[in-house]
Amino acid sequence: MNLFDFFKFSSLAYNERKQADVPLCGRSMVEMLGVLAIIGVLSVGAISGYSKAMMKYKLNKHAESFNLLLNNALQNLSSFGDKTSSYVHHAELLHKLGLIPDGISYKNNRLYDIFGNEIAVYTTPTSDSSYKYGMRIIFADSDFNSQVCQNFVQTAKENRANLKFIKRYDSAAHDHFGTILGDAYCNKNNKCLKDLSLNDIRELCYTADENKIIWLYISWD
């Protein structure tokens, strides 16, 4: 064996020993699919958790902005509201006075919450020649969200000392779901805001047909 053949043989022998000492590092297709399946499950869970957290955040901001809007209307409309016609919208007035909070948008004398529901703030005369102030919330068609409805009702309950009543109206059935009275008008023969339980609020905001247009009225003197 010449010197060249000796070095060639030594190199081949070394490589064979090296390959025998090192285990294979590859993964089977089944193992890879298993890893991908785990990643997929974790991703779905993470997305679902993120969506729930974002919805909870939006609901909290929605409740905060609507509560502020309601209080601004309660405190100011009786002093500045126009009572010269049969039915007056006051969104423009609130807009000019800077009383529309963040989270509520103004457009064409109407207000809209972050979920696209229309909020009309109005004055209307009553049968005894006095005036009634109120809000009418029209939930976005086909996008009715019972959690958002519950936000409105819960906010009304928190402000019940200043409210006359709240009332739900189903435009498809043309039916009122009962009047729920504020503290000053509450009596044992009627439903009262102060007595509303969480289940009561959920029932008030429940609808089996999401294509119905639901109106919610909030009224005060």
Task: Give the β-pairing of 131-138 and 165-170.
Answer: unpaired
C-alpha–C-alpha distance, residues 113 and 105, integer Å: 6
Is residue 125 within 8 A of residue 85, CB to CB? The reply is: no
Helix (H, G, I), strand (E, B) or coil at 119: strand
Is residue 91 within 8 A of residue 82, CB to CB? The reply is: no
Give the start-to-end residue ranges of the domains of the chain: 62-220
Q: Which token pair is 98?
A: 């800077």
Q: What is the pLDDT of residues 90-146, one digit of tens each?
A: 899 899 999 999 999 999 888 999 999 999 998 887 665 556 789 999 887 656 688
pTM: 0.73
CATH superfamily of 62-220: TcpA-like pilin (3.30.1690.10)
How confident is the chain (221 residues) per 10-residue block, as mean pLDDT?
48 52 60 76 71 87 95 82 68 92 92 93 72 84 77 95 90 70 89 92 78 83 78
Q: Which helix (H) or strand (E) holds 136?
A: strand 131-138
